[in-house]
Structure 1
Amino acid sequence: MKLQDKVCIVTGAASGIGNAIAHRYASEGGKVAIADLNIEAAQKAADEIEARFGTDAKAIVMDVTSEEQVNAGVQSVVDAWGTIDVLVSNAGIQIVNSVEQFAFSDWKKMLAIHLDGAFLTSKACLPHMYAQGSGSVIFMGSVHSKEASPLKSAYVTAKHGLLGLARVIAKEGGKKGVRSNVICPGFVRTPLVDKQIPEQAKELGISEEEVVKKIMLGQTVDGEFTTAEDIAEVALFFAAFQTNALTGQSLVASHGWYME
């Protein structure tokens, strides 16, 4: 068991990639806190994990843009299980529009969820990791942490920013036993991606089928979506890694869409 009795917080884990990561961590013995805006869905996910794997899981309501909610949620996990070993900052949304038409309120909302959320959850978890001399902070980046696409100015900016934050945490946390990494998925068929298909079709004046085949999967080697389970394996790899050898690094999982 690679994460036996390790305490893990995964944000946005009631569904999608976060849910797959939570299940994978539990399958390796981890205690998993499902942090999500939707407490009912989070509780359902926690119940499913406990029933399937027999490991501890709990639901916590968390708006990652609220310092008060983040701090309270993290403290509730520490009160229940004693510490934090792994943080996966995964909560995110997508809004697509051209730069000149992008509402400033939408821009601020995107950066708040992706960047402020990563900062606030890290800030809340790091003291507990430092106190025990170990920990893993994992940010959910994107191929858009490395590359740009039309209509995604806020998303691309936020995902690029996560690389910088992770590198600073790696520098600051190295001597304290804390590692930091960024996972950079290609397109994963989640509700977030499904929402983009008609939006991009409308903005680009093409069919939804063309959005999938040409825009999303056109640059992959096999025309296949990356799966949530693929990303969960990467998240397990980073969480269970034993040394600082890979700290500050990012890993792209995109079926060859983007290669480094």
Structure 2
Amino acid sequence: MSEAALVTGAASGIGRAVAERLVADGWQLLSVDVEPDTSGPGEPFAADLATREGNRAAVDAALERFGRLDAVVPNAGFQHVAPVESFDEDRWDALLALLLTSPFLLSRYAWPALRASGNGRIVVVASVHGLVASPFKAGYVAAKHGVLGLVKTLALEGAADGIRASAVCPGYVRTPLVARQIADQARAHGIPEERVLEEVLLAPQALKRLLEPAEVADVVAYLLGPGGASFTGAPLVLDGGWTAR
């Protein structure tokens, strides 16, 4: 029987690309989203990953449907752009719940199954913002920095159980999440929307282009495959040269 994976935020963007790639590679897949696409790759499952119950339900559903769970890919997320002094406190809580607490809960609940797999893998879709900061993104940057610390801890604890944990840290990717923040970035920086891509989003990168979701999916698939056997406890960065500065 083929290996089984759980991917969150699988209805669009990076999560959708990862789900499509894993299904093409022969994985059994639970595609988790708050509003799953029933026509998309894998078996859809609706869950509120901002809650403990939602994260546990997603893991339980994967085990019920596949009888095993070999990989967890926490990818779900959203963005909120605002100065610290006006940063909505509920948005802060929601960002940390989805971007940091959910990967912890999924790992915790899936741990026995990942141990039983003998080759359990956790690959968190983090961000270059787990390594560097940008203004007006206090919640997102804090959560992504935190999740890289979580990955290190998971890797150290998981090694004896055959569980590897790593993270993918892309720069800006051509996704609905990025498209939705253009207006907010324009307001925060006081510039027209048509200048945001060049002057804000791509300004720190040496390569002046957005990544495509499939490029991130390729890296996730590599980490889940034989080539990724020695990767644990560290991020794999694909940022177009952003952190070279």
Question: The TM-score by the shorter chain falls in which range?
Answer: over 0.9
Q: In the TM superposition, what are the counterparts of 1:190-201 in structure 2 within 5 Å?
A: 190-201=175-186
Q: Which residue among 154, 163, 166 is the counterpart of 1:181? A: 166
Whether 1:23 and 2:20 are equivalent positions in the alignment is yes
Deviation at 1:60, TM superposition (A): 0.9
Distance 1:252 1:200 in 2: 24
Distance 2:48 2:63 in 1: 18
Q: Which residue among 61, 65, 82 is the counterpart of 1:80? A: 65
SS at match of 1:44: coil
- Aligned letter for 1:87? V
Q: Which residue among 31, 37, 40 is the counterpart of 2:34? A: 37
Distance 1:243 1:26 in 2: 18
% same residue: 36
- Aligned letter for 2:214? E
Aligned 8 A contact 1:64 1:120 in 2: no
Partner of 2:2: 5
Deviation at 1:222, TM superposition (A): 3.0
Deviation at 1:199, TM superposition (A): 0.6
Deviations along 1:217-253, one digit per CA (max 9) or x if unpaired, are: 1222231101101100110011113675221010111
- Structure 2, gaps ≥5 residues long: none
Deviations along 1:13-34, one digit per CA (max 9) or x if unpaired, are: 0111000001111111111110
**TM-score, length-scaled by structure 1:** 0.90
Partner of 2:153: 168
Partner of 2:241: 256
- Aligned letter for 2:13? G
Deviation at 1:133, TM superposition (A): 2.1
Q: Which residue among 25, 32, 55 is the counterpart of 1:70? A: 55
- Aligned letter for 1:26? V
Distance 2:211 2:57 in 1: 34
Segment of structure 1 superposing worse, 146-155 or 206-215:
206-215
Deviation at 1:258, TM superposition (A): 2.2
Whether 1:59 and 2:44 are equivalent positions in the alignment is yes
Q: Which residue among 51, 70, 82 is the counterpart of 1:97? A: 82
Aligned 8 A contact 2:33 2:45 in 1: yes
Distance 1:243 1:107 in 2: 33
Distance 2:57 2:93 in 1: 23
- Aligned letter for 2:120? G
Distance 1:149 1:106 in 2: 17
**TM-score, length-scaled by structure 2:** 0.96
- Aligned letter for 1:246? F
Aligned 8 A contact 1:187 1:225 in 2: yes
Aligned 8 A contact 2:222 2:228 in 1: no
- Structure 1, gaps ≥5 residues long: 50-56
Distance 2:185 2:44 in 1: 34
Q: Which residue among 119, 123, 141 is the counterpart of 2:126? A: 141
- Aligned letter for 1:32? L
Distance 1:92 1:83 in 2: 25
Aligned 8 A contact 2:123 2:166 in 1: yes
Report the CA distance shift for 1:171/1:244 in structure 2 as closer, same or farther (over 3 A).
farther
Whether 1:217 and 2:202 are equivalent positions in the alignment is yes
Whether 1:110 and 2:105 are equivalent positions in the alignment is no
